[in-house]
Amino acid sequence: MNKTYTAIKLVLGDQLNLNHPWFKEVDEDVLFVMMEVRSETDYVKHHIQKVVAIFDAMRKFAKIQEEKGHHIHYIKINDSQNKPTITENLKSVCSKYAAKEVHYQLPDEYRVDQELKQLEKNLGIPIHNSDTQHFLTTRGEFGEFFSGKKSFLMENFYRYMRVKHRILLELGNKPIGGKWNFDQENRKKVPKNHAIQTVGLFTKNVSDILDDIHLAGLKTIGEISPTKFSWTTTRTEALELLEQFVTTALPLFGTLQDAMTEQHWYLYHSRLSFAMNIKLISPLEVIKRVEKAYLENSDAYELNQIEGFIRQILGWREYMRGVYWSQMPSYAALNFFENKRSLPSWFWNGKTKMNCLKHAISQSLEHAYAHHIQRLMVTGNFSLLAGIHPDEVDNWYLGIYIDAFEWVEITNTRGMSQFADGGIVGSKPYVSSSAYINKMSDYCGSCYYSNDKKVGDKACPFNSLYWNFFDNHAEKLRSNPRLGMMLKIWNNMAPKERSEILSQASVYLDKIELL
Ligand code: FAD
Ligand code: DLZ
Ligand code: SF4
């Protein structure tokens, strides 16, 4: 006869918070259930490193909790009892252990939220939910903050968050340094001959998990070195990465935050997003650690580095989550520009002559990572200029990045990058010609294309596609005060030049596979 448990508590793969109140004390009547489940591995084709990292983190989390005395029922991907969905697995576990109730923490994704809301109907026993206690806002706080306001300005939300959590504040709720935002100082290219001080990489062996994934026949994308796996999968590693980042990379984070280089795939970025998104480490402890570094040693850090980093987490990260829960499910169908094109096949192998895209895509396939400006101003910029359907763009980002979970992926991709929401997240589309990429990177120098040509042999595709974008969407862009100047420049160009640029763009779009 099986031991019975009064309550089953579900722990999802991105709810690995060792400090959650559920785990304060061992309760003999509670069975925690964790599962490697096809509905979560298969809703999009994930990067192999993302699946490995999640399974590794889940297995290690379960082991730590078991060692503390908690009862864990862990379903591995190839277990014969494993069912295809969360609900079916819960049903079978509840029946096996005669459970009388199920508890879950609010999931971060709408898809899973919908499934868990049906549990009571499907399992026929009482269901309770509670907060993950991980974010700095509740799901509804964003909606309350912006209630009655015309636009969702991130800067206003960010200031509210600075005051609410008392971060980088002087007495009287004034910002330390006299300014809330030091972004103007954070737009430098990597200087010539600059020796990049890197934060080290972990090199772990994940061969066993990889074998399990292959045996299960999961379809994935991307590459992996199973004996040199670098992503953080435990809280101890996440804390170590944070310390390394604070001492090594933070002093230059802000200044080189937007820079791109062929030499290095993460430069001075923290690579903490995955650890935060699966809840190994909380956003508040990351913010507090960075603030402490500055307050204790303001000679070693300039305020722009610190404020720039904190804004991303305290501001943008919470803001995106707020947009997600206030706008879903309609957000997932928005397509402001009515784009229709498919992504070119080289997004899955990096085989393009455009050096910026080759680097951004190849490193994404190799490491499941690209930093913010690569995502926004290289792959995202190209996709928008080429008129790719936002569903295609979303699926690519959701699959390829280690840190991609829909709440933060779709708001950044469909919203900030593709402007498919018509301006909920951003006040203008993030498009640029080669000028921006050349200013912020060393990509153009060794590119097949000429960054200073709009038309003709080897003209950089970004240049003609940029003006083609304004021409195509003039009607929709006219009322945007931030774009009036560019539309004016386009309208004032000589008719011959305009026509040559549009023909060049049309040729490039027709042979997009060969770019
Ligand atoms: P760092 O540069 O070190 O920044 C520190 C932290 O700030 C990050 O770890 C992250 O938690 C937070 N952050 C920075 N920018 C953002 C932002 N715009 N939105 C939310 N949090 C932010 N981030 C994800 O976590 N998951 C995604 O799926 C994702 N998709 C993106 C898609 C596009 C098109 C764009 C433009 C951005 C996307 N981002 C996403 C935001 C950002 O690019 C990543 O958070 C960042 O690159 C992660 O690397 P890092 O930890 O080294 O970040
Ligand atoms: C992303 C992911 C993957 C690939 N696999 C699993 C899994 O097998 N089991 C699991 O519990 N979670 C997984 N996840 C993370 C979930 O997709 C995530 O918990 C939900 O989307 C809620 O945000
Ligand atoms: Fe990219 Fe154009 Fe520069 Fe080549 S020339 S790296 S395609 S921006």
Domains defined along the chain, listed by start: 7-130 (3.40.50.620), 141-327 (1.25.40.80), 345-514 (1.10.579.10)
CA separation for the pair 315, 9 (Å, rounded)? 31
Contact 314, 285 (CB under 8 A): no
Query: What are the phi and psi torsion angles at 31 (to 5°)?
Result: -115, 120
Contacts of residue 380, defined as CB under 8 A and 6 or more positions apart, other chains included, come to: 393, 413, 417, 418, 430
Task: Provide the sign of the torsion angle of the four alpha carbons 296, 302, 308, 309, taken in this order.
Answer: negative
pLDDT tens for the chain, 515 residues long, are 678 999 999 999 999 999 999 999 999 999 999 999 999 999 999 999 999 999 999 999 999 999 999 999 999 999 999 999 999 999 999 999 999 999 999 999 999 999 999 999 999 999 999 999 999 999 989 989 998 887 889 999 999 999 999 999 998 899 999 999 988 776 789 988 898 887 888 999 999 999 999 999 999 999 999 999 999 999 999 999 999 999 999 988 888 999 999 999 999 999 999 999 999 999 999 999 999 999 999 888 889 889 999 999 999 999 999 999 999 999 999 999 999 999 999 999 999 999 999 999 999 999 999 999 999 999 999 999 999 999 999 999 999 999 999 999 999 999 999 999 999 999 999 999 999 999 999 999 999 999 999 999 999 999 999 999 999 999 999 889 888 889 999 999 999 999 999 999 999 999 999 99
Q: Which two tokens stand for residue 328?
A: 């879903």
Contact 377, 416 (CB under 8 A): no
The closest of 410, 436, 435 to 425, measured between CA atoms, is: 410
Predicted pLDDT of residue 302: 87
Torsion angle of the four alpha carbons 320, 324, 325, 327, in this order, in degrees rounded to the nearest 10: 130
Query: What are the phi and psi torsion angles at 27 (to 5°)?
Result: -125, 115
Predicted pLDDT of residue 191: 86
Burial pattern 376-415, b for ≥16 Cβ within 10 A else e, equals bbbbbbbbbbbbbbbebbbbbbbbbbbbbbbbbbbbbbbb
Helix then strand then coil, in percent of the chain rounded to 5, is: 50, 5, 40
Q: What is the pTM of this model?
A: 0.97
Cα of 214 from ligand 2 centre, angstroms: 18
Predicted pLDDT of residue 1: 61
Contact 371, 267 (CB under 8 A): yes
Contacts of residue 121, defined as CB under 8 A and 6 or more positions apart, other chains included, come to: none
Predicted pLDDT of residue 192: 86
118 burial via Cβ count (<10 Å: 0-12, 13-18, 19+): exposed
The closest of 288, 302, 272 to 179, measured between CA atoms, is: 302
Cα of 329 from ligand 3 centre, angstroms: 36
Cα of 21 from ligand 3 centre, angstroms: 51
Atom of ligand 2 nearest to the CA of 11: 11
Cα of 40 from ligand 2 centre, angstroms: 5
Query: What are the phi and psi torsion angles at 345 (to 5°)?
Result: -65, -20
Q: Going along 365-454, which residue ranges are E strands?
A: none
Atom of ligand 1 nearest to the CA of 370: 47
Residues with CB under 6 A from ligand 2: 12-14, 35-37, 40-41, 46, 51, 54, 107-109, 112, 405
CA separation for the pair 158, 195 (Å, rounded)? 34
Specify whether the backbone of 348 is left (phi greater than 0), alpha (psi in -120 to 50) or beta: alpha
